Amino acid sequence: MSIKVEHISKSFGTFKALDDVSLTIPTNKLVALLGPSGSGKTTLLRIIAGLELPDNRDSAIYFDEEDVVDRKVTDRQVGFVFQHYALFRHMTVFENIAFGLKVQPKKVRPSMEEIKTRVDELLGLIQLEGLAGRYPNQLSGGQRQRVALARALAVEPKVLLLDEPFGALDAKVRLELRRWLRKLHEEINVTSVFVTHDQEEALEVADYVVVMSNGKIEQMGTPEDVFHRPETEFVMNFIGQVNQFHGRVERGRGVFGKLVVEDDEIAGAENASARMFVRPHEIKVTSRSSGNHEVPVTVLHVHKAGPRVRLELQDDENRTLQVDMSHDDFLMTELGKNDKAYVSVQNSRIFISEEV
Amino acid sequence: MNSLLTVGKNILPAKRSSVIPGFGLTMGFTLFYMSMLVLIPLGGLVLFTTSMGWEAFWQSITDPRVLSSLRLSFGASFIAAILNAFFGLIVAWVLVRYTFPFKKVIDALVDLPFALPTAVSGIALVTIYSQNGIVGRYVELLGFQIAFTWIGIVIALTLIGLPFVVRTVQPALEDLEKELEEVAASLGATRWQTFKRVIFPAIQPSLLTGFAMALARAIGEYGSVIFIAGNMPYKTEIAPLLIVIKLEQFDYTGATAIAVVMLIAAFLILLFINLIQWWNRRYSDEN
Amino acid sequence: MTGTVTLQAKNKNRSIVQTESTTESPLVRWLLIGTALVFLLLFLILPLLIVFREAFSGGINLFFQALTDPDALAAIRLTLFTAAIVVPVNLVFGVCAAWAISKFKFKGKSLLITLIDLPFAVSPVIAGLIFILIFGSRGWLGPWFLSHGIQIIFATPGIVIATLFVTFPFVARELIPLMQAQGTEEEQAARVLGASGWQTFSRVTLPNIKWGLIYGLILCNARAMGEFGAVSVVSGHIRGYTNTMPLHVEILYNEYNFTAAFAIASLLAVLALVTLVIKSVAEVKITGDQIQTKL
């Protein structure tokens, strides 16, 4: 089932949570809504679920071809998973998972045996076979979230919506669980949307990432797209580490202090202020000058505790640069703290301001 | 006074490292005052009861007049507590969930029975519900009577127990995570199913606690009941009134026997409340 | 004009068709609100209104005549006198108990808290009975006191003691949870900075618990002035001597002097309303304080 939302706006008092948002989520994909807090991602998810209503009348939410905007959450057949699990604490794991089946109208409600079979199946899926009789407070955080997921899946929802599903877990469980979700999604094949503020999580798990800020969608694309081909400054800034330079475009060249860059993107541009973004791994550092477009810098700090070496550099215009490289490459440079070095930009993104 | 301070220190040693002063003084005074005013007098009552002997005790409480007064007190209190559980739940729900005019004033007024002297509510109720009262005269048309019957007693006991259920259920409803109801709705549950299966089990311990507190209060209530009850022996004479009557006749044994039965009931209810709290803790994250 | 109105109604249509996921239909909502209001009207508001209506049913002159009657004045004096003793004593106890319980660790703390609540579980009539057994003319200590010329039962001391008993827990039970929630960090900081014990209490603790204290005091006072059952048992109902206001209400009512009974009752009702107002203010302040503590 695909999801299509059109022209959704939502305000809470004077705060504009969503500002005319339209979005299409393809069938059976796992999509991440990524953004800082207050960007409107949770509100969008809740509106898709039917837990919240859009403000405007011209809005529409299509599940496949069907407009469900007037349909109550009860009838939308969505599975919803909350950050803090929202498990029914007075029910066992079994009863929690069976809840959605037991509240169905008598005509369509499965028999007790069918319910039991279905719940056992789901317990197998979430790998908690032996724990059917436990109460939520006897489970770990990761186990609770898996139960919440099984509970949502029990009613065979058309779409699965997850609001910061790993937000309440510690780092290690979080890592484990998001890989497990990826695998689970491949097994069950339900169109799924999850909200997160953790870019690593979004990039690793999702088929598509929707980056949001200030109630608007900045970019939607594959994880590769948003990481390597950010369309807006916000995305560039928000995803991954980045060095930012303020400067100008002059006759097709970017001039950022002593740093001068030539780029196809700005070839046609004349005289405008501009900002350049360079990822730490896209800066080359050498101990000896080897040609054009290089800037002399001083090594302020070297952080070697990690999979890659991170350098903090300062140029003569007092700008601080973050660079990272492999340990091998770093050894080749023969650099140390307080050494002089030269940097050149290998790859960059330049955004030209509209005003001159 | 000095020995008093050391008493506190010796019996209940505070944490040695505490830099906060005054444990001996405050604990000493607390224990002294509580013993003099509450513990020793109550202990005296227990002593008096044991000294009267089983025979005398049994004879006192199996007296038909005593039995019927106890039956009336417990029965009417139970009905009043049930009424309070039902309507108190609705009042608490409405106060927490909805907005309507004068909500804050009404919320504050719920505590009125705590603040209004029982004698005042007693004479007010009888004025309203007696045959020519503003409510009583219409009830009269329906063919029954409230004042001077057991129904009047139930009404008085409902009034004085009214705040308990509301005030215990209110915070439980406020603490209820909204997500639980949203999850239930997303799983296809109707509002009524959500209430029955999700909300009610969550607030049930508070409701039971409020019910028990209203019940305990009603059993011992005197002031608001005696005006509306009519106080006919065997019919509308409540147990606390019978204690007073027996005291006026200097029948200390008889009065104490009734008091002991009522005290035992009160302590059983206290125990019940503690059990609810303990039982409810098995779902909480702390254990 | 009509056109706009219908258009607006249509615009709003959607939000009426689809209610929020966690609330009820307007019909259910108003049915519940209606039930609650009728219940409260019959059990709370009507009794309150009737007190004032009856009090003034004989006109304002009769009302003041009832209040200035010598027996009424004596009852008012006795009630004020009793409260003036009971409230401060239970205040001191409440603060001491709350201080010991909330600022220190010791064994048997929860037992102590339960014991403090004990008088709430005891019927007021039984409270009166207990003191009759002790101080009555046929009680254990009564004859000894009487032989020394001290009458406790059927006299003011009995009334004060019975009232002390029934209002015993009020201040303590408001302060204990409040002070437990506030912890001991501020007091420790004050001590480290060199404050004496009394300075620590009066400058650090007291401002933090001020509204909780007022809350407990006002409830204690309301009960002290309004107590009926316990006082009724020990008072002896001697007009002009051992009649408190609630007892005077009873006597007047039983003598079919309804207007006078309700006149006195209306004073007590005003006291109750004032209590509720102060209580509401204190509640708002306490919640505010707690939010501040959390931040």
pLDDT in tens, C72-118: 999 999 999 999 999 999 999 999 999 999 989 899 998 999 899 88
Using CB atoms, which chains have 3+ pairs under 8 A with B?
A, C
Inter-chain contact A151–B193, Cβ cutoff 8 Å?
Answer: no
Among chain B residues, the shortest Cα distance to A48 is held by B186
Q: How many CB atoms lie within 10 A of CB C146?
A: 16
CB B188 to CB A151 under 8 A?
Answer: no
What is the model's pLDDT at position A354?
64
Q: Which of A63, A64, A83, A87 is nearest to A73 (CA)?
A: A63
* Coil, helix or strand at residue A219: strand
DSSP state of B145: -
* Beta carbons within 10 angstroms of residue B81's beta carbon: 28
3-state class of A209 per DSSP? Answer: strand
| Domain spans of chain B, in order of start | 64-286
Q: How far apart are CA C24 and CA B192, in angstroms?
A: 9
Q: Output the pLDDT for position C11.
A: 33
Which of C14, C15, C21 has its CB closest to that of A72? C21
Please check whether residue C101 is in contact with residue C108, taking contact to mean a CB–CB distance below 8 angstroms: no
Q: Write the pLDDT tens digit of every residue in A95-136.
A: 999 999 999 999 999 999 999 999 999 999 999 999 999 999
The percentage of residues in chain B with a pLDDT greater than 70, rounded to a whole number, is 93
Chain A contact probe: residue of B178, B182, B183, B199 with most A CBs at under 10 A: B183
Q: How many Cβ atoms sit within 10 Å of the Cβ of residue A332?
A: 12
Confidence of residue B142 (pLDDT cuts 50, 70, 90): confident
Q: Chain A partners of B189 at a C-beta cutoff of 8 Å?
A: 74, 99-100, 103
| Count of residues in chain A | 356
Half-sphere exposure of A352 (CA within 13 A, CB side): 20
The encoded tokens of residue A335 equal 């650099």
Confidence of residue C291 (pLDDT cuts 50, 70, 90): low
Residue B159 CA to residue B121 CA, distance in Å, equals 8
Q: Burial letters for C92-110: b for 16+ Cβ neighbours within 10 Å, e otherwise?
A: ebbbbbbbbbbbbebeebe
pLDDT at B284 > cutoff 80: no
First CA to last CA across chain A, in angstroms?
A: 47
pLDDT confidence of residue C6: 27
Residue C236 has φ and ψ, to the nearest 5°, of 85, -5
Q: Which residues of B touch C102 (CB under 8 A)?
A: none
Distance CA C114, CA C107 (A): 13
pLDDT at residue B7 above 50? no
Hey, what are A89's tokens? 């604490």
Amino acid of residue B250: F
Decide: B145 and B131 in contact? Cβ < 8 Å.
Answer: yes
pLDDT score recorded for residue B146: 87
According to the model, what pLDDT value does residue A114 have?
94
Residue A13 binned pLDDT confidence (cut-offs 50, 70, 90): confident
Q: What is the DSSP letter of B196?
A: I
Q: Is the pTM of this model over 0.90?
A: no
d(CA A40, CA A9): 10
Please tell me the distance in Å from B79's CA to the nearest CA on chain C: 15
- pLDDT category, C238, cuts 50, 70, 90? confident
pLDDT digits (tens, 9 = 90+) for C176-191: 999 998 888 888 888 8
Instruction: Identify from A90, A104, A149 which residue to disrupt to test chain B contact, counting B C-beta atoms within 10 A and taking the largest count.
Output: A90
**How large is the average pLDDT for residues C224-238?**
91
Check if A49 contacts B (Cβ < 8 Å). Answer: yes
Cα separation, A300 vs A309, whole angstroms: 13
pLDDT at C170 over 90: yes
pLDDT tens for A325-342 read: 999 988 888 888 888 898
Judge: A51–B185 Cβ closer than 8 Å, yes or no.
Answer: yes
Geometric angle at alpha carbon A127, from A126 and A128, rounded to 5°: 95
Give yes or no for a contact between B227 and C232, defined as CB atoms under 8 angstroms apart.
no
Whether the CA torsion A309, A313, A319, A320 is positive or negative: it is positive
Nearest neighbour of C188 by CB, restricted to B19, B178, B263? B19
Q: How much is the mean pLDDT over chain B?
A: 89
B64-286: CATH superfamily? MetI-like (1.10.3720.10)
From residue C104, give the alpha-carbon distance in Å to each of C114, C177, C187, C191: 17, 14, 12, 15
Which residues touch A341 (CB under 8 Å, ≥6 apart)? A285, A286, A287, A296, A297, A298, A299, A313, A333, A335
- Is residue A290 within 8 Å of A341, Cβ to Cβ? no
Determine the Cα–Cα distance for residues B213 and B277; give it in Å rounded to an integer: 13
CB B85 within 8 A of CB B166: no
pLDDT at C20: 63
pLDDT greater than 60 at residue C276: yes
pLDDT at res. B84:
97
- Would you say C89 and B162 are in contact if contact means Cβ atoms under 8 Å apart? no
Name the residue type at position A46: R
B115 and C108 within 8 Å at the Cβ level: the answer is: no
CA dihedral sign of residues C183, C189, C191, C197: negative
Which helix or strand (DSSP H or E) is residue A81 part of?
strand A78-81
The pLDDT score that the predictor gives to residue A41 is 94
User: How many beta carbons lie within 10 A of that of residue B61, not counting itself?
Assistant: 16
As given in the structure block, the two tokens for residue C274 are: 């004032």
Residues of chain A in contact with residue B184, where contact means CB-CB under 8 angstroms, are 99, 103
pLDDT tens, position by position, B219-239: 999 999 999 998 888 989 999
Tokens representing A209 are 């990432």
In this prediction, residues C126-149 reach a mean pLDDT of 90
Which residue has better confidence, C271 or A57?
C271
Residue range C38-43: average pLDDT? 94
User: Which of B26, B98, B120, B273 is the mutation pick for testing C, counting most C CBs within 10 A?
Assistant: B120
- Residue A56, CA atoms < 13 Å, CB-side half-sphere: 18
User: How far lies B28's CA from each of A75, C101, C213, in Å?
Assistant: 64, 12, 21
Nearest to C120 by CA among B131, A274, B161: B161
Q: How far apart are CA B69 and CA A49, in angstroms?
A: 59
